Structure 1
């Protein structure tokens, strides 16, 4: 298989770093006072793990600082190291966008790479180092979805919606497969619909939300909560006669709170809290806001739109199958 841009970045970084120990403080392990330094393979593993923990990381702050210093010397080594360490969070997302929205995988990954590097340049000043990796990742994923949306507009398969887009791509290999695709064509709209629901369930299982989701499903099935009206459901959905309850379909946003407070929305958008309040007062905040009591609130659906998170329609049966699949209890 011909290498894509992700493969080329990985090959370049490994060639530049070789087998030498990596120092994120001075870029020279011989001059650093720390006794031990990992080789690049180990260093990358530590960086990816720190990023996956979704917590502030001194390692990533040092990486970004080293990247900025390298830029001043006209050296792209650390810029490429940072990109390479973000690639694990983009590979699975690029694969799902390519497969489910019928885009060329190499084109999707090229767009991601270009958007990530553009964001690296744009955040050279005025952006805290700890925010840069998140902004690079979000820009890469948004760029891929823009390509997918253009492609979908040119396609006859407009009935097929994209998979749920979360801030970080899931690294667990169990999310790369579905329990129903072994002998099925993922280009079939019915199959794509099932896969979409199963991936959603798998993600919610991963993040410990499935019990609350199941309560939501119980409300749908007992009539305590309305599902989609038939007039909203697509023709594909109505042909799935084997699912239980056509009116059980629901938007994923139905499960979320209707509003999110402004600081949380600003964090998700990569905007500083103080800046967010100034933008609201100036009318330039990316999402509409409403004043509730003593605080500003942002509609969840508006925030999802700003983050290019597609509000997909799923069926409880598919969601539960996906959750059971990754939980080791396939049905």
Structure 2
């Protein structure tokens, strides 16, 4: 049976699609260095360099840098490639921890992957690229031990997401999206997913004109906007994929602009614009920025991540049901 490590490897291999891997500019055709390996050979080379315990590795520094740039584009290919290359050092350790504490190996490896990805996000600002892989490995091992030693506080992802959504609702907000669903088991992942979508729609109804939401959904349903790829939909989503005849799921952030200007981002973060520009020059601004023309822009997904706003995947039907119920 495949576990989290296997899923990461399969995901990365699919993302690179059998093409030569270029860690310099992400396009072998445009790279001045003409010799490029396919992913499996590239992965082996990365593992060997990491195992050599060099103080710094240009290959790993380039992988981390490419991962940061890919994150800004909304592409997780290189971030997951870093995780996949690190799993070679975690496989044996996960097996030892599983045997020592009689813990489920699949659970341990899932926690390792989650911890590594959390560390990737946490080290986005202020951490040298050369230190990122080591910190990800350390966090993964610590998470594995924590998972193995604790058996009494388990909960499903769906439950925790529902609780998080409820906790984030404003105190004066009295509409509970679960009220739309009657006589249903909230622990069912499909139901929990539906509640999340309706809760999101109920909140949007307060701040976004309904005609804008409806127009956005119409674009999704008619194919004028790309839907979330099937590989990103969970098993519970696939059971509801054809609610409206197609996979119309989308990220909550897809409704917002891809980039916002630095002054707007600074205002949201409670930073004076002048201080924001100084922080960008010093490399201490909380979110990665990019130049567009003569203006600094901040990637919306990065801003949401820093503010701990979950970028959930929702279905238009659920969002519209929640908005209608709230109105």
| TM-score normalised over the length of structure 1 | 0.48
Higher helix share: 2
| TM-score normalised over the length of structure 2 | 0.49
